[in-house]
Amino acid sequence: MSYNISEIVSNFCIEGNVAAIIPYGAGHINDTFHLKNTNPGLPGYLLQRINHHVFENVPALMKNVQLVTDHLKGKLTGIPGSSPDKEVLTIVSAKDKQCFFCDETGNYWRMYCFLKDTKSYDMVLTEQQAYEGGKAFGKFQLLLSDLDSGLLYETIPGFHNITMRLDRLNKAVLADPKNRIKDVLTELSFIIERADQMATIMNLGKEGKLPLRIIHNDTKFNNILLDMNDHEQCVIDLDTVMPGYVAYDFGDAIRTIINTAPEDEKDVTKIELNIPLFKAYVAGYFEYAGSFLSDTEVKSLSMGVLLIPYMQGVRFLTDYIEGDIYYKIHSTEHNLQRARAQFELLSKLEKNYDVLDQIVHNTAKKYIQITTEIK
């Protein structure tokens, strides 16, 4: 679909004039454009068409982003040496003072100041990068830990709710619209064997033992901008910022960092754990998160490392059974292959659970007086 971007831009309060409009970045959800300014002394902008099929209530989503970015900027303003404008996304208002613009075809647009001299990586390659990733998301959670999570709207209801994900799988199994159940019996038994254990984090939350906090919910590495020296600078992509448990963000970040193979690896023997990258992420994460996590939250982190690949595998398998509706596929069994890769990763994580948990525990001890036994 093509848009008159200049017309869209004219609805925002920008400084100077736009010299060039360039499709930008490697995002899968929104359409992103970099707007260069005619005057190099003035800032550039980042324009995004927000995917309103994925996010049904864009005004509420943008209210979340406004609330969170205002809070982050306010907190950083009090910290010497911080640069709130570089470390937090800045929303550019539309001319009607709203934080988004809705065009006549019903598309929603938003604009941020472009953060120049930054880069994002799709994959973590070095321990230094993993460490910076841990710092970025640890700091993000820390700075938001005093903002009431009840103020935020749930942009995707039940996003990390494993019971809901399993219910959906169950429905797909009963309907079996593509006659694929016969091919996935091993995977279904694997899921059923672990279903009770995987509800632990949610149950601890329901019992009031884990606080609902504001979390990012999409902690992949390319959602962090690094500066030119590879130091973390800004957490971006705030569309899924919602109430949740810290273990979800931790597990989601580790899911890709620790896997030596791509998410859809066909040859599962190539799936191994990169434990030095895990250790580096944990070290960076606790530098910030160590000051606010409770001991039950610390204990929940390793459970999150098991839960998130499990949940992702359940989602891929559900989509395979339903006939590949949600994820784009490149071959008939792509979703099945993805699910199998997640379950292989999970098996390896389970075998190494004690090692991983010990790394978390030993790092946590430097920051937190642990009152109950972690294991």
Q: What single string gives the DSSP state of each residue in 142-202? A: HHHTTS-GGGS--SSTTTT-HHHHHHHHHHHHHH-TTS-GGG-HHHHHHHHHHHHHHTHHH
Query: Which DSSP symbol is given to 12?
Result: B
Per CB under 6 A, contacts with ligand ATP among 100-119 are 112, 114-115, 118
CB nearer to ligand ATP: pick between 30 and 337 = 30
CB nearer to ligand ATP: pick between 239 and 357 = 239
The 3-state DSSP class for residue 119 equals strand
Structure tokens at 333: 């069994």
Least spacing, CB of residue 326 vs ligand ATP, in Å: 14
Question: Residue number with the shortest CB distance to ligand ATP?
Answer: 27
Q: Which does 335 bind (CB under 5 to 8 A by kind): Mg ion, ligand ATP, none?
A: none
236 binds ligand ATP (CB under 6 A): yes
Q: Which amino acid is at 150?
A: G
The one segment of 23-31, 256-264, 297-305, 344-352 that binds ligand ATP by CB under 6 A: 23-31
5 binds Mg ion (CB under 5 A): no
Q: Which does 153 bind (CB under 5 to 8 A by kind): Mg ion, ligand ATP, none?
A: none
Long-range pairs for 104-107 at CB < 8 Å and ≥24 separation? 106/52, 107/3, 107/49, 107/52
Contact 327, 338 (CB under 8 A): yes
28 binds ligand ATP (CB under 6 A): yes
The one segment of 22-30, 172-180, 207-215, 248-256 that binds Mg ion by CB under 5 A: 22-30
Contact 22, 36 (CB under 8 A): yes
307 binds ligand ATP (CB under 6 A): no
Size of the residue set binding Mg ion (CB under 5 A) = 5
Size of the residue set binding ligand ATP (CB under 6 A) = 21
219 binds Mg ion (CB under 5 A): no
CB nearer to ligand ATP: pick between 25 and 211 = 25
Residue ranges in 83-126 assigned as alpha helix (H): 84-87
Structure tokens at 315: 């989602």
223 binds ligand ATP (CB under 6 A): yes
**Could you give the CA distance from residue 43 to residue 37 in angstroms, rounded to a whole number?**
7
Among 3, 5, 16, 24, binds ligand ATP (CB under 6 A): 24
Q: Which does 89 bind (CB under 5 to 8 A by kind): Mg ion, ligand ATP, none?
A: ligand ATP
Contact 353, 302 (CB under 8 A): yes
Per CB under 6 A, contacts with ligand ATP among 255-294 are none
In what order do the strands lie in the sheet containing 224-227?
118-119, 224-227, 232-235
330 binds ligand ATP (CB under 6 A): no
